[in-house]
Structure 1
Amino acid sequence: MTKLTEPQRRTSLTAMSATELDVLVVGGGVTGAGIALDAATRGLRVGVVDAQDWGAGTSSRSSKLVHGGLRYLQMLDFKLVSEALSERGLLIDRLAPHLVRAVPFLYPLNHWYERPYVGAGIALYDALATVGTRNRAVPVHRHVSRQGVLQTFPAMRADACRGAIRYFDGQVDDARLVIDLVRTAVQLGAHAASRTELVELTTDDTGRVGGARLRDLETSTEHVVRAGTVISATGVWTEEVQRLSGQDNGLQVLASKGIHVVVPRERLAGESGVILQTEKSVLFIIPWSRYWVIGTTDTDYRGDLTNPVATAADIDYVLDHANTVLAEPLTRADVIGTWAGLRPLLQPQVKTGSRGKGTSKVSREHTVTQVAPGLVSIAGGKLTTYRVMAEDAVDFALGTERAAELPSETATTPLVGAAGYHAYARRAPEIAERYGWSSAMVAHLLHRYGSALPELLTMIDERPELARPVGQAEAYLRAEIVYGVTHEGALHLEDVMITRTRLTYEVADHGLGAAEEIAALMAAELGWDDSRREIEIAAYRRRCEAEDRAAAAPDDDTAQRARGRDGDVLEALDLASATGLA
């Protein structure tokens, strides 16, 4: 299996500078990672970079669902729903069965007349998931009585509904999906470098974009990369990248903020998720691991694109809507974590400079366009359809004739950890017995690593102390922290706390109780001295404190001032270097 490491990252930057690429992808979220993989499956020379950690932007801050979108079915957007359901089936069945799994939801019915038309809509949803597929991937829906609702989700208030329809959708570990996409692309020959910023788009004698000047944010060194086509897959940063071309055309993208809150699993009795209609969109109560995820919001956003945060008003909105159906209302004291993400919603081209209507009315379909000769932008879409977006972007960059000669292979290319997953998962009892782990721990490991789990087990066989859980973060093994560095490209403490694990929001203290031990494990792999380790811990602590301040703020403007850039680890390291502390 391919390893993402700091040496691999440096080697990739050197390789990108040494030869002309066919495609340079800017943006390492799910779309950019998907484009890199798509290009690699066609045998193209491809590089992918991101100014942050892999998936650190929108792609790790989703509702963690792979779904067709009942909301879009209500809008009669059958094409988008059908396409998304087809991709859901591919992910569950073939491409990433370890990361994506079926999860049940209850759609509560408040009036007797809702059952026929809601039932018909969800029946159509199921039918669209079946047409043209070899495997449904998820069970079909069924009608549930009021008593059945209370048996499935006892936390529901008895008078909250007259019954429900129980249907299934897909659930995904979003951050790990991005990491596995990057690893699979590298396995197939792609060059990949996180923490690498686009500084300038370079042009040839004809004025065509012919590559880019990149800055390695870890070393402050610069690299000039030549490329036949630069593809921007930068989401809410799309317009910033387009401006570097000197053109005033291209895609217009509106940032829409969505937040989620996390409450302990024991706080709500239930075996199923719940989907609720709101005045703006829908709200999900989602079972996930040891907790519940509740969200989301959909609000215009014009703040800092790198550090969006949940405000007190956002949190109250989510809790208030969830409480409309809960027997024991949730309070702020029940919330152990939050996250906020920004959806990149396409805006129609307008002459007045107006940014259009409210974000809940903007289509989620994606668009690919040529911004300037040699520069292609893609934006819009949703996590579920990343593979289709990637294929469209590479097809567009190649042109019709060459794309036909070099077709995408991503529909049949399993991601790292997927090949043989189901067969390997049957060994779960044997693995549990051998290492003295609970069945829940083995299930956790299989969900995260799939058929790549033997890599982690080999590490434990060589270093048995890594088989122990992390103190004050016992859901994770010490080996998982080390593996995040040696195989998944974690460069900083925050990379492990936020994307390699979810400790930043799944325990009440942001995982700070485990930070010392995790930093020590990382230090041994990355060669940090005591000073560097303390800088990493202090930066992460400041980040968490700033997010907590923001969560107590009443609105976005106040929250942004509270959040600021506190805890920026690269700034902390630069300051320490300038003052001789590192």
Structure 2
Amino acid sequence: MTTTRPLDPTYREQAWQTLDGGRFDLLVVGGGVTGAGIALDAATRGLRVALVEQADLASGTSSRSSKLFHGGLRYLEQLNFGLVREALRERELMLTRLAPHLVKPVSFLYPLARRWWERPYVTAGLTLYDTMGGARSVPGHSQLSRRGALRLAPALRPDALVGALRYYDAQADDARHTMMVARTAAAYGATVATSVQVTDFERVGERVVGALLKDVETGRTGAVRSSVVVNASGVWTDSVQALSGAGGRFRVRASKGVHLVVPRHRIPSETGLILRTEKSVLFVIPWGTHWIVGTTDTDWNLDLSHPAASRADIDYILDQVNTVLTSPLTHDDIEGVYAGLRPLLAGESDSTSQLSREHAVARSQPGLVSVAGGKYTTYRVMAADAVDLAAEDLPGPVPDSVTADIPLLGAEGYAALVHQVPRLAATSGLPEWRVRRLLDRYGSLVHELFDLAAAEPDLWEPLEGAPEYLRAEIRYAATHEGALHLDDVLARRTRISIETPDRGVACAPATAALVGAVLGWDEERVADEVEAYAARVAAERESQRAEHDLDANAERLVAPDIRKRSVGRALS
């Protein structure tokens, strides 16, 4: 079993010391799922690799997706069979070998609105979907009458469908999955450093040979040498590419996707839903005691760090889902809202929903490789392609990718622990449902939480203001998972920011105290973190009342990023 390496404050300091003045085969810029995947791919090929991220792991697109591992039914309709086959193959790997503790099957109901032709049309597509990519670990689709569909999903209006089909995909907490990919990379020797910004590239002639760095937490600067820099910065691809002084081989266009989170009881159903809209598809996705409803697909040309959901976005989603619900959702039902940006390869179409979800990898100049586009589901393929291309600038042969056989941390031993839930519950004193939930978030790493709670038994208590989570999970986010700020914990290590009606404000003081004890925060710093988080929530709420993107963006930017405040504090 791979030895884990906690991403604690000591690790971060050592990472900076290794980076500053260090030499690597690959320097990966961007801590989303693609960047983390590249770091894991390179490390498991025996390469010396560093990953730097200007904010937090998964702080951009990789924490704001639909949280699905799926082939994408709509890409079948676009006849993009290769993309669907590839994605379904990756889905199967995640479910069975690489991340069974994090990636789970989920079913969807596809309501049929038209008689005669629609059922055979959808059946043909789902038959392909069931068999492409070697899928074996989820059931095949099934046919349902209207009565059968309404038994599964009584939330649906009887006049909204004439029948239905049920099929299966998979889902995961995207931010946790990305973080676990990065932790696995670190376990195999990658140097992983968050809150580290690349401010410029170092060049010898036209060749990129390294980068200048800034520690966003302390303001200190440094430099790192690398045979190849891999730009995996998603929607920031063009701006990172510009640091090289040369043009890129492709352009990235940002498409905003908005999702709503509502209580589970508001949509009585035993299955998720997929609904056709005029522009694309809309998902109603089971999410613990909640539903995630989305998404939109619109151009975004404003602030990339904090895409804002406007009232128009929210109204669009409500209007679409309410066309089929017996009890329409209202704004009062919404517990959480999040907006993310898809880094699409720019094309000639004016509609972002028609842009390619395939990825591109290019060597734009010696020593610099860029990767962009693609789907969350195919991150591992994107990573392997990027390292393959980077290998052209490395001395000596580079082995082939082996990540198809590298389970993420927590996967090994998970299946056995699932059968030991009663014993683990008796040992820990936790209810069995709590133990199952912990296993599905941490896998076999759950023993690290047991160790924390053995030293401090009150860590098994529920978190005040967010009782679905335990105090141990909050502490663990700082001791093992690289969280540096309150926002990192409430928005990504947990999903409290979208799962509670107050969006985490009530539990912020207790959370800050728990992580502050690890991160060395004094009372003033704890208060600063709580204030900054509350300001962020208030700004997001105001942005969601604004009618259109421009006003929503302005409202969201009222609350400055906590990391910018950190630098000011460190330098004062």
- Does residue 86 in structure 1 map to residue 89 in structure 2? yes
In 2: Cα distance, 1:426 partner to 1:147 partner: 36
- Does residue 36 in structure 1 map to residue 29 in structure 2? no
- 1:394 matched residue in structure 2: 387
- Does residue 358 in structure 1 map to residue 333 in structure 2? no
8 Å CA contact 1:540, 1:567 repeated in 2: no
In the alignment, structure 1 segments of 5+ residues that lack a partner are 349-354
In 2: Cα distance, 1:573 partner to 1:402 partner: 40
* Alignment: residue pair count: 568
Residue from 56, 60, 64 that aligns with 1:61: 64
- Equivalent residues in 2 for 1:276-315, closer than 5 Å: 276-315=275-314
Deviation at residue 129 of structure 1 after TM alignment: 3.5
Secondary structure in 2 matching 1:450? helix
Q: Deviations over 1:402-422 (max 9, x none)?
A: 897511110000001111211
- 1:166 matched residue in structure 2: 166
Q: Deviations over 1:261-280 (max 9, x none)?
A: 00001111111000001111
In structure 2, the CA distance between the partners of 1:356 and 1:268, relative to structure 1 (3 Å rule), is closer
In structure 2, the CA distance between the partners of 1:188 and 1:323, relative to structure 1 (3 Å rule), is same
8 Å CA contact 1:184, 1:416 repeated in 2: yes
- 2:55 matched residue in structure 1: 52
Deviation at residue 428 of structure 1 after TM alignment: 1.1
Paired amino acid for 1:201: F
- 2:267 matched residue in structure 1: 268
Paired amino acid for 2:483: A
Deviation at residue 120 of structure 1 after TM alignment: 1.0
In 1: Cα distance, 2:93 partner to 2:422 partner: 27
Secondary structure in 1 matching 2:370? strand
8 Å CA contact 1:238, 1:251 repeated in 2: no
- Does residue 372 in structure 1 map to residue 375 in structure 2? no
In 1: Cα distance, 2:376 partner to 2:558 partner: 27
In structure 2, the CA distance between the partners of 1:326 and 1:188, relative to structure 1 (3 Å rule), is same
Deviation at residue 570 of structure 1 after TM alignment: 2.5
Deviation at residue 250 of structure 1 after TM alignment: 2.5
In 1: Cα distance, 2:70 partner to 2:262 partner: 23
- Equivalent residues in 2 for 1:108-507, closer than 5 Å: 108-112=111-115, 113-130=117-134, 136-204=136-204, 206-348=205-347, 356-399=349-392, 405-507=398-500
In 2: Cα distance, 1:539 partner to 1:507 partner: 18
8 Å CA contact 1:260, 1:294 repeated in 2: yes
In 2: Cα distance, 1:454 partner to 1:64 partner: 26
Q: Deviations over 1:142-168 (max 9, x none)?
A: 101111111111111111101111000
Paired amino acid for 2:109: L
Secondary structure in 1 matching 2:160? coil
In structure 2, the CA distance between the partners of 1:470 and 1:403, relative to structure 1 (3 Å rule), is farther
In 1: Cα distance, 2:104 partner to 2:373 partner: 24
In 2: Cα distance, 1:76 partner to 1:571 partner: 45
In 2: Cα distance, 1:95 partner to 1:299 partner: 33
In structure 2, the CA distance between the partners of 1:229 and 1:541, relative to structure 1 (3 Å rule), is same
Secondary structure in 2 matching 1:56? coil
Q: TM-score, normalised by structure 2?
A: 0.97
8 Å CA contact 2:228, 2:393 repeated in 1: no
Deviation at residue 20 of structure 1 after TM alignment: 1.4
In 2: Cα distance, 1:404 partner to 1:203 partner: 24
Secondary structure in 2 matching 1:513? coil
- 1:352 matched residue in structure 2: none
- 1:26 matched residue in structure 2: 29
Identity %, equivalent residues: 50
- Does residue 100 in structure 1 map to residue 103 in structure 2? yes
Deviation at residue 356 of structure 1 after TM alignment: 4.5
Q: Deviations over 1:125-183 (max 9, x none)?
A: 101033xxxx6121111101111111111111111101111000010110011110111
In 1: Cα distance, 2:10 partner to 2:533 partner: 24
8 Å CA contact 1:183, 1:416 repeated in 2: yes
Q: Deviations over 1:280-310 (max 9, x none)?
A: 1100001111100000000011010000011
Deviation at residue 572 of structure 1 after TM alignment: 2.9
Q: TM-score, normalised by structure 1?
A: 0.95
Paired amino acid for 1:188: Y
In 2: Cα distance, 1:27 partner to 1:401 partner: 21
Deviation at residue 574 of structure 1 after TM alignment: 4.3
Secondary structure in 2 matching 1:213? strand
Secondary structure in 2 matching 1:38? helix
Secondary structure in 2 matching 1:3? coil
In structure 2, the CA distance between the partners of 1:254 and 1:292, relative to structure 1 (3 Å rule), is same
In 1: Cα distance, 2:248 partner to 2:283 partner: 37
In 1: Cα distance, 2:428 partner to 2:147 partner: 42
Q: Deviations over 1:334-381 (max 9, x none)?
A: 001100000000014xxxxxx752111111000001121111100000
Deviation at residue 496 of structure 1 after TM alignment: 0.4
8 Å CA contact 1:64, 1:171 repeated in 2: yes
In 2: Cα distance, 1:143 partner to 1:577 partner: 61
Secondary structure in 2 matching 1:59? helix
User: Which range moves more in the overlay, 337-346 or 431-440?
Assistant: 431-440
Q: Deviations over 1:197-231 (max 9, x none)?
A: 01000012x33100000101011111100000000
8 Å CA contact 2:210, 2:228 repeated in 1: yes
Deviation at residue 440 of structure 1 after TM alignment: 2.3
8 Å CA contact 1:535, 1:573 repeated in 2: no
Q: Deviations over 1:482-516 (max 9, x none)?
A: 00000000011111010011111111101111111
In 2: Cα distance, 1:394 partner to 1:10 partner: 27
In 1: Cα distance, 2:129 partner to 2:336 partner: 32
Deviation at residue 433 of structure 1 after TM alignment: 2.6
Which segments of structure 1 move beyond 6 Å, counting only runs of 4 or more? 400-404
In 2: Cα distance, 1:411 partner to 1:129 partner: 14
8 Å CA contact 2:217, 2:567 repeated in 1: no
User: Which range moves more in the overlay, 119-128 or 4-13?
Assistant: 4-13
Q: Deviations over 1:45-86 (max 9, x none)?
A: 000011010000000000000000001000000000000000
In structure 2, the CA distance between the partners of 1:166 and 1:553, relative to structure 1 (3 Å rule), is same
In 2: Cα distance, 1:573 partner to 1:555 partner: 31
In the alignment, structure 2 segments of 5+ residues that lack a partner are none
In 1: Cα distance, 2:19 partner to 2:214 partner: 13
Paired amino acid for 2:194: S
8 Å CA contact 1:104, 1:169 repeated in 2: yes
Secondary structure in 1 matching 2:506? helix
Paired amino acid for 1:107: Y
Paired amino acid for 1:24: L
RMSD: 1.5
